[in-house]
Amino acid sequence: MAPRDNCETVGDFSITTVVVAPPWYENCYVVKHVPTGRQLVIDPGGDAEMVLEAVQANGGVVTDILLTHGHPDHLGGVHDVQAATGVGCRAHREERPIIDGVANWAGALMQRRIQGPKAVEYFEGEPVLPFEGFEVKVLFTPGHTPGGVCYIFDGFVFTGDTLFNQGVGRTDLPGGNGRTLSASISRLLKELDPAAKLYSGHGPAWTVAEALPWWERAAAYGYF
């Protein structure tokens, strides 16, 4: 079984990282509002049993699943998590073609079969999603995929495969675009507090303050 990182606390929230979907070792996040016990699951990419174990260990109730994008290593466990919890799943409308084709993606990229989500509620633009009195801001960050988004909480952000710790998502798959992704990353880092922590789809977290100089160097050297 893949490792599970220790739980971190940021303000009124705890963040548990569940590393799933080998060989990509995607980061699924379980975000709990500590005062109420309400939880969000972000990008359950596989190993639904591990994700549900983390939810149970945290205590409380899952209210929603949020997807940063629709590649199979980020939603391979959605169907089973939905079946166990009865909750919905949300993604950007521009990501629908990727999610609709997830079975083909899984076969081509992962040589495995997966079931897509039981149901998806697609949002448009950059809505604000309420969660226990807080606002979760959606930032549209296409480039890795057509409908990729980042979820911005107070003091921390889930970037999916838009931006990693000293890396970015690949753009050579259908729907990817390097220039679009570069513009998305520049906008993301410009809009965030330097102290905000960035939790990505793969690898360790880092802060905006750490990411900015790296991105400036990458852009100067023609990363794309």
pLDDT digits over 56-91, tens only?
999 989 999 999 999 999 999 999 999 999 999 999
Q: Quick one: pLDDT at residue 220?
A: 83
CA angle 209, 166, 125 (to 5 degrees): 75
Report the SS3 class of residue 201: coil
Segment 186-211 mean pLDDT: 97
Which fold, 8-220? Metallo-beta-lactamase; Chain A (3.60.15)
Q: Quick one: pLDDT at residue 2?
A: 42
Percent of the chain exceeding pLDDT 90 equals 81
pLDDT category, 101, cuts 50, 70, 90? Answer: confident
Report the SS3 class of residue 51: helix
Q: Quick one: pLDDT at residue 111?
A: 62
pTM (2 d.p.): 0.94
CA angle 127, 130, 136 (to 5 degrees): 60
Q: Quick one: pLDDT at residue 69?
A: 97
pLDDT category, 107, cuts 50, 70, 90? Answer: low
- The better pLDDT of the pair 25, 106 is held by 25
The DSSP output letter for 2 is -
Q: Specify which residues 135 forms β-bridges with.
A: 130
Residue spans of the domains in the chain: they are: 8-220
